Amino acid sequence: MENEMKIAFFDAKSYDKPSFEKYGKQNGITFKFFETKLNEDTAELTCGFDGVCVFVNDTVNAAVIDHLAEHGIRLLALRCAGFNNVDLRHAAQRGVRVVRVPAYSPYAVAEHAIAMLLTSIRRIHKAYIRTRDFNFSLNNMTGFDLHGKTVGVIGTGKIGRVFIDICRGFGMKVLAYDKYPAEDAGITYVTPERLFAESDIISLHCPLTEETYHMINSETIAMMKKGVAIINTSRGALIDAEALLEGIKSRKVGAACLDVYEEESEFFFEDYSGHIVEDDTLARLISMPNVIVTSHQAFLTEEALDNIAETTVRNISTFMETNACENELSYH
């Protein structure tokens, strides 16, 4: 095809390829899949391509953007909603346009958050291990009802609101905080301080910005109820992991359900089962009996993968045809 667009696809996994190949073929887009992540060392691989497709743990800082611009890359397509790993200001300065997938499946992430919570508080993961060993004792397996508990939801975008709907189905009281409240949503918005003080469970569904960086820290944990459960399916750096560890050790935090981790880029999506993990904080978190860590898999459903591929390809195709896209990110 004369106008076929060539896209360098970084941090490619086996589950990415079928959908992207299908939609790419339908729209005259050829993807070259690289298993390596995009960073300053691998940016040379983008030479000869029209655009680049990246995920959450690719590095798109000023130095990488300089490489892209020098190679004539016009488009950076994020196959995710978050964009904290991209220097948008420098991209704008160098003429590299950035598009994203604002919503692929809010149900996937919200349902995973609830699944982690239920697994933790009802000790499902421990029961699975016990019964596999024919141990049917119920000692130390006591959980608590979700019904009647107060859940604090930070961030009420599409994922946060789906999570709220699920919590209401359990008969939970919902408090929420968002810098930009959803109007006419029937949500009770409160200050962060009140949310921290009154919530039995706190779930994070907000983007990572300068304002939200380490919003869960030693000071905010001190405001929380003893035994609070904390869920994070958004971005790892919303939580100060060292402060969380101290909160767990002091029995202030009763449970932590983490699908993301601040320093995850070196470890998540890879198999380190035969290696010693050198991140002591991550190793200590995983060793805690009341911590569940999943490796950024909340998005990973068939529906979400298909939506991510379809939207990303549509973003690229629209940009190719019109030099504009409704899902373009502006630095401002």
The yes-or-no answer on residue 262 being catalytic is: no
Q: Which of 125, 56, 112 is nearest to 286 (CA)?
A: 125
Annotated catalytic residue: which of 112, 235, 262, 310? 235
Whether 258 and 293 have beta carbons less than 8 Å apart is answered as yes
Q: Is 161 considered catalytic here?
A: no
Cα 149 to Cα 121, 145, 270, distances in angstroms:
13, 8, 36
3-state secondary structure of 164: helix
**DSSP E strand stretches across the chain:** 5-9, 29-33, 51-54, 75-78, 97-99, 150-154, 173-177, 201-204, 228-232, 253-258, 291-293
Q: What DSSP line would sit under 291-330, residue for residue?
A: EEE--S-TT-SHHHHHHHHHHHHHHHHHHHHHS--TTB--
Angle, helices 124-132 vs 106-121, to 10°: value is 60
Among 67, 90, 264, 310, the active-site one is 264
Taking alpha carbons only, the member of 207, 204, 213, 177 closest to residue 192 is: 177
71 carries an active-site annotation: no
Q: Could you give the CA distance from residue 239 to residue 213 in angstroms, rounded to a whole number?
A: 7
- DSSP sequence for 238-291: GB-HHHHHHHHHTTSEEEEEES--TTGGGTTTS--TTS----HHHHHHHHSTTE
Q: Which of 296, 303, 326, 332 is catalytic?
A: 296
Cα(51)–Cα(315) distance, rounded to whole angstroms?
11
Indicate which residues carry an active-site annotation: 235, 264, 296
